[in-house]
Structure 1
Amino acid sequence: MATVRNVYLFAKTAVFKVRAINVPRRTVSQVTHKHFRSAVGCGSVAKLVGLYNSYSTGRRPPSSTSSSSVGLADELLAAKVQPDPRVADDGDPDSDKDKEEKEKVNRTLKWTFISFGVMITGMGSFLLWSCGSPEVGPDGNPIIDEFSEMPVIQQYLLRTWKGMNDMNRMIQEPSRDKLLPDPVKPPYIQPPYTLVLELRDVLVHPEWTYETGWRFKKRPGVDFLLHHCGPPLFEIVIYTNEQGFTAFPIIDHLDPNGLIWYRLYKDTTRYVNGKHVKDLSCLNRDLEKVICIDWDTDAVSSPRNHLKLKRWDGNMNDQSLVELGLMLRTIAESEVSDVREVIDYYRTFDDPLAAFRENQRLAQEQELAVKQRVEEEHQQKKFTSSIISSFFRRN
């Protein structure tokens, strides 16, 4: 009896294993109990063990004369090996729906490429027609140029190529050869020196806050710099990489008194290696009298005329422009013949303003020492003269 109970437990375990292969629960239960009762009725323990092994391993049970045993194995095998519904009858792994989607994608790509081809062809034809056609004179007749004797297609291609080169040169080169007008002649006043100032991070600093959005902060000491370095010592020029529509109202706000004589914007810079460079040789001024103030070393074409200033980050306690004004005024009042020699000296320091401040301190100490020595000599001479005069009076 204990052996039969153990075999029953084995058969029950096989039922759970058979359920794991998605055989309907009712079918497995009916078939299993039928075969179990048959095996128990026959009193065959070996048959029960074979039934358990066939259920647990998925193998076909041993052949038997009983038709129920053969039917059970066939049912289990048919339930375990189910055909894949995703595979079509003809053996193609792609379903009809996938084929339709692929065909739709292919049609979309095809028409997309066709549309791009038509658009590019149309744009190229319009470019050749607009840029390659000869110029027309006031009388309506075409103007003869160096391409007029060539075939028509070659004419249009070469004129288009020339127009593209002219456009590229217009972007890279300054908008005009002379950025400033010629110096004025007497009786008008022409300052002897030219001061070129960058706007961004030298005079103002852009800042964004939730309350105000984007705004430009005015650097402390701007008014002092303009008043102490303005005419008649310097003609002040704003030369910035900003666009004109951005910089123009800012300069109006900084200089209500008109101390800034000229304004130059991004279109007057030279585009070199991906950067807009200030070409001082186009200023129409003697470079021996030009001082350019900027924080970017690569933004000035003439390093000898560039006096580098530290980039302002918006600190309202900064006093660099006050020191700069004193330094520039000292240079102008000293009537330096070539400012580049002075800039060459101060360019050797990381902070030119600190170096100038130290030189001013040393100069004041030397001046004070000279004044004291002169006073001492004067007192000594006075004492000597008083002794001599008293000696002659006694005699």
Structure 2
Amino acid sequence: MAFALRSLRIFCRNIHNGNGNGALLSLRKSNTKLNLIRITERYKSTIEDSVPKIAGSLTNISVTSSSIPSLQQNLNEKKEQNESNTNNEDEEDRKQREQSWKMMKISFIIFGVSLGAMGGMFIYDISRPVYDENGDLVEDEFSHLPFFQQLWKRLYRELTYYKKLVQEPSREKLLPDPLKYPYIQPPYTLVLEMTDVLVHPDWTYQTGWRFKKRPGVDQFLEALAPPQFEIVIYTAESGMSAFPILDSLDPNGYIMYRLVRDATRFVDGHHVKDLDAINRDLKKVIVVDWNANSVKFHPDNALKLPRWNGNDDDTTLYDLAAFLKTIHATSVDDVRDVLSYYRQFDNPLEVFRENQRKLLLQMQEDESQKEQQSNSKPLTSKWSKTFFR
């Protein structure tokens, strides 16, 4: 008791004297201990609270791991469903293809039956017996035969007629008879191909099809116009395309006759110019063409030129005019002899120019020799005999 009173007296004295630091320190030490105790209690409570959470997480993990087989099962079900959908689509496509092919076969059958019925009606129509306007039978050379044989014979006759209509010229005489006096018939007949001899077809996106005139075509036609040559256009082009071109190509009418595709003979896939039906003496007929198949029946009458491709520096028509005028000037009796000679060359006009050059040189040499001979004679040789009497 006395010790306690003494301690309290000392504590109060210290406070009164301002020396209370020790007491404060002792109090702070006790407060620090209290803080440490509180922090420890909080940490324990935190650990205790976290233990159930960890258990819950483990429980969730176990639940998740237990749900993996169910997810795999769902994936398998989806895969099976996709495969079943794909199989259904393939089955539908197969059925659709079968249906389309079935409809196509039915369409072909209907088309074939219709075509056969129309063909049968056409055959019967052109081969049946013919009746006049009164309903009486018109007899022909097959009327005495059995019915089906009549049909066959008449069908063969009609098919032969249409075959000749396509393959042979449309008439026996392609040109009229030569002109009689007092009209002037040119001594030679010049047969010209139109395409790639006089004009060249050209096609572009901007203009479409158009025909280009060969250089010198106007001078060529004017130089050989009647009465020197009877100019005839003989081409495998159709009349619908040839006539407008010739109208613009020959406004002066130098071309006397025009023969188109229906006047040709169709042989082995080629339209051949039939000179036997031209109604002229073949000794006086000259055919100018670039295609040997077009004149294969009468090669002796053909002058084959290189094909013109549309170049602007071409001078072939000028040389051709000179060649033909030479034939006319020399009054060749049979042009086939001259044409047969030039047919052996690839470019006969070039050979003709060379021959003309050699002939001109020869003529100049002959004239020079004659002048030399006349100058070398003595002066008395020119006097007449009466001069010496």
What residue number does 1:356 align with?
352
The one-letter code sitting in structure 2 at the alignment partner of 1:109 is M
* 1:249 counterpart (244, 250, 255): 244
1:182-221 maps to which residues of 2 (within 5 A)? Answer: 182-221=177-216
1:130-149 maps to which residues of 2 (within 5 A)? Answer: 130-137=125-132, 140-149=135-144
Change (3 A) 1:72 1:171: same
The one-letter code sitting in structure 2 at the alignment partner of 1:329 is K
What residue number does 2:334 align with?
338
Cα distance in 2 for partners of 1:291, 1:263 equals: 15
Percent of pairs with identical residues: 47
Q: Deviations over 1:328-365 (max 9, x none)?
A: 11012111121111111111111111100000001111
Cα distance in 2 for partners of 1:125, 1:159 equals: 14
What residue number does 1:4 align with?
none
* 2:286 counterpart (281, 284, 291): 291
Cα distance in 1 for partners of 2:151, 2:59 equals: 90
1:99-138 maps to which residues of 2 (within 5 A)? Answer: 100-137=95-132
Change (3 A) 1:34 1:290: same
Change (3 A) 1:222 1:36: closer
Q: Deviations over 1:283-311 (max 9, x none)?
A: 12221111100011111121111101111
- What RMSD in Å do the two structures reach over aligned CA positions? 3.1
The one-letter code sitting in structure 2 at the alignment partner of 1:34 is S
1:368 and 2:374 are equivalent in the alignment? no
1:271-282 maps to which residues of 2 (within 5 A)? Answer: 271-282=266-277
| SS of corresponding position for 2:286 | strand
| SS of corresponding position for 1:260 | coil
1:179 and 2:174 are equivalent in the alignment? yes
1:313 and 2:341 are equivalent in the alignment? no
Change (3 A) 1:333 1:79: same
CA contact (8 A) 1:291 1:339 kept: yes
| SS of corresponding position for 1:292 | strand
Q: Deviations over 1:259-283 (max 9, x none)?
A: 2111100011111111111111221
Cα distance in 2 for partners of 1:206, 1:173 equals: 27
Stretch of structure 1 that moved more, 129-138 or 247-256: 129-138
Instruction: Tell me by how many angstroms 1:381 deviates.
Output: 2.9
What residue number does 2:264 align with?
269
1:83 and 2:111 are equivalent in the alignment? no
* 1:260 counterpart (255, 267, 285): 255
What residue number does 2:373 align with?
377
Gaps of 5+ in 1: 1-29, 38-67
Cα distance in 1 for partners of 2:157, 2:187 equals: 42
The one-letter code sitting in structure 2 at the alignment partner of 1:363 is L
Change (3 A) 1:381 1:99: closer
With normalisation by structure 1, the TM-score equals: 0.73
The one-letter code sitting in structure 2 at the alignment partner of 1:83 is E
Stretch of structure 1 that moved more, 214-223 or 299-308: 214-223
Instruction: Tell me by how many angstroms 1:227 deviates.
Output: 2.4
Cα distance in 1 for partners of 2:201, 2:307 equals: 12
CA contact (8 A) 1:292 1:305 kept: yes
Gaps of 5+ in 2: 1-57
Cα distance in 1 for partners of 2:249, 2:90 equals: 73
CA contact (8 A) 1:87 1:95 kept: no
What residue number does 2:319 align with?
323
Q: Which has the higher helix share?
A: 2
| SS of corresponding position for 2:137 | coil
Instruction: Tell me by how many angstroms 1:169 deviates.
Output: 1.8
What residue number does 1:303 align with?
299
CA contact (8 A) 1:31 1:72 kept: no
Cα distance in 2 for partners of 1:279, 1:31 equals: 109
CA contact (8 A) 1:128 1:157 kept: no
The one-letter code sitting in structure 1 at the alignment partner of 2:244 is P
Cα distance in 1 for partners of 2:134, 2:197 equals: 53
Q: Deviations over 1:96-136 (max 9, x none)?
A: 63464145224412430232133212311321232112334
With normalisation by structure 2, the TM-score equals: 0.74
1:159 and 2:187 are equivalent in the alignment? no
The one-letter code sitting in structure 1 at the alignment partner of 2:359 is A
| SS of corresponding position for 1:349 | coil
* Length, aligned pairs only: 326
